[in-house]
A = this chain, B = another copy of it.
Amino acid sequence: MANLVLTTFDWVPDMPRGHVRDIRVRWALEEAGLPYRVESVPFHHRSAGHFAHQPFGQVPWLTDGDLSIFETGAILLHLGELSGKLMPADPRGRSDVKQWLFAALASVEAASQPWSFFKFSGDTDETPMRAFFDGFLEARLKHMEEVLAGREWLAGAFSIADILMADVLRLVDRFEGLATYDHCRAYVARATSRPSFLKARADQMAHFAAAD
């Protein structure tokens, strides 16, 4: 029996609430129906013990018995291997899920994260480099739009790859970056209407609100 503990911050500012990365792990745990509990570490004072679990001082991490895992991609992969509900059983389906799991991070978030930093900063930069980063994201979204035009989920049934990709695209959508990408926007709406996501988001909001 898995003994799963998800660790996140005790508090974060208002802006990132609903988008702290523990939501990806909560979402997968809810989707799989795996029992878990949530623990907190201080946002303001990051201890040596925190860095022992997460070497960059970020959150989340997951412990499963004496195994401790950081990086949401790695945590989702672990949960996908633990549960039959988060990825298919056949080798080809599993391989597809894994490549899309990496693609969500290394192809899409690699472009959306720098873009989101411009947005978070107040969106006043109008330099050539800003235009470059806009174009970098546009190129990736254009291809995602083609991918999502032809399928409901990235790799057959809903999987950990969709949790990660939808969470990445959800932040783009928050800043209206999906306005001209109908299939991407519909995909985010489809994914985030799942009860597992709604529960995960409500739980994250309640967790941080409890610390105010």
Contact = CB atoms under 8 A, between A and B. Distances in A.
Q: How large is the interface on A (under 10, 10 to 19, 20 to 34, 35 or more residues)?
A: 35 or more
Interface stretch (A2-10, A11-19, A128-136, A185-193): A128-136
Given A92-B67, A98-B77, A55 B132 contact: no
A111 B173 CA distance: 22
Interface of A: 51, 55-58, 66-67, 69-74, 77-78, 91-92, 95, 98-99, 101-103, 105-107, 109-110, 113-114, 117-118, 121, 125, 127-130, 132-133, 136, 139-140, 143-144, 146-147
A70 B99 contact: yes
A106 B107 contact: no
B91 A67 contact: yes
17 contacts: A55-B144, A56-B103, A72-B102, A72-B106, A73-B102, A74-B98, A74-B101, A74-B102, A74-B103, A77-B102, A78-B95, A105-B106, A110-B110, A121-B128, A121-B129, A127-B129, A129-B129
